[in-house]
Amino acid sequence: MKIIKLSAIDSTNSFLKDLALTSTLENFTTVATDCQLNGRGQQGSSWESEPNKNLMFSVFLRFQSFEIAEKSYLNFAVSLAVYETLLAEKIPNIAIKWPNDILSGNKKICGILIENNLKGTEITSAVIGIGLNVNQIDFPATISKVSSLQLLCGKNFDRDILLEKIVFNLKRNIALLKAKEFYNLEAAYLDVLYKKNIPTMFKDHKNTLFMGMVVGISKEGKLQVALEDERVLEFGIKEISFL
């Protein structure tokens, strides 16, 4: 496996996206860093991570005949790769919070940023960015509901080995995706989805609180939430948050 290791970089996602513009990258080319100066998160947020403690890496994927309409399955394949790695490491109470945060209990331990390159109705390539809190034990007071593998298990983890394991699992899941085994990926994802079938308080984009229950994911990747009156509503990423 080709891993480019950088001691510091603004963002491994940005670096790999730029590299893909100027060279023909091998599938699964991976860039990892010990220190991200301008880590990027979902919806324009930033990703903060203490240098030399955690995993911050990006993987380049190339596709043929992969329709944008199937993009949820890429998300399932990626988040499951991290989930499966952490499960094998016996990290307690892990779940995937829609769309792709990995939690232990109600604390976030991993964030994923998938950036697709499109041509017409197809995804031709993608950069998968993964930030996993591994050995960090102090977090800024401003960040709540966050944890790390070390805090959860009371021991140090080898970051290089974890990286290899995640990419190994990612390769297997991407093979399933390319074989169009969508049903299996979706079933595995739904099986470990945070708060699935558990009555939960949500907040919509107008700040209205309501009780509902996660029941599934729509074809477009929206969260399906059943209400008390049994209606099922679908929400995009900016339209709902868990309380």
* Residues of the shown chain interacting with ligand BTN in the complex, contacts defined by CB under 6 A: 11-13, 39-42, 45, 47, 56-58, 101, 111-113, 129-131
| Closest to ligand BTN by CB, 55 or 174 | 55
Q: Is the peptide bond before 51 cis (omega within 30 degrees of 0)?
A: no
Smallest gap from Cβ 60 to ligand BTN, in A, equals: 12
* Residue carrying structure tokens 């050995």: 135
What letter represents residue 10's amino acid? D
Smallest gap from Cβ 16 to ligand BTN, in A, equals: 8
Distance CA 21, CA 38 (A): 20
| Closest to ligand BTN by CB, 38 or 65 | 38
Smallest gap from Cβ 189 to ligand BTN, in A, equals: 17
| Closest to ligand BTN by CB, 40 or 53 | 40
Q: What are phi and psi of 8, to 5 degrees?
A: -155, 150
Smallest gap from Cβ 187 to ligand BTN, in A, equals: 24
| Closest to ligand BTN by CB, 19 or 213 | 19
Smallest gap from Cβ 228 to ligand BTN, in A, equals: 30
**Residues 145, 108 contacting (CB under 8 angstroms):** yes
Q: Is the peptide bond before 99 cis (omega within 30 degrees of 0)?
A: yes
Greatest CA separation found in the chain? Answer: 54
| Closest to ligand BTN by CB, 131 or 221 | 131
What region, left, alpha or beta, does residue 87 occupy, with left being phi > 0 and alpha being psi -120 to 50 degrees? alpha
**Residues 79, 96 contacting (CB under 8 angstroms):** yes
Smallest gap from Cβ 105 to ligand BTN, in A, equals: 17
| Closest to ligand BTN by CB, 84 or 101 | 101
Other C-beta atoms within 10 Å of 17: how many? 18
Q: Is 107 exposed, middle or buried (0-12, 13-18, 19+ CB in 10 A)?
A: middle
Smallest gap from Cβ 65 to ligand BTN, in A, equals: 27
| Closest to ligand BTN by CB, 39 or 221 | 39
Distance CA 196, CA 213 (A): 7
When CB distances to ligand BTN are compared, the closest residue is 111
**Residues 76, 96 contacting (CB under 8 angstroms):** no
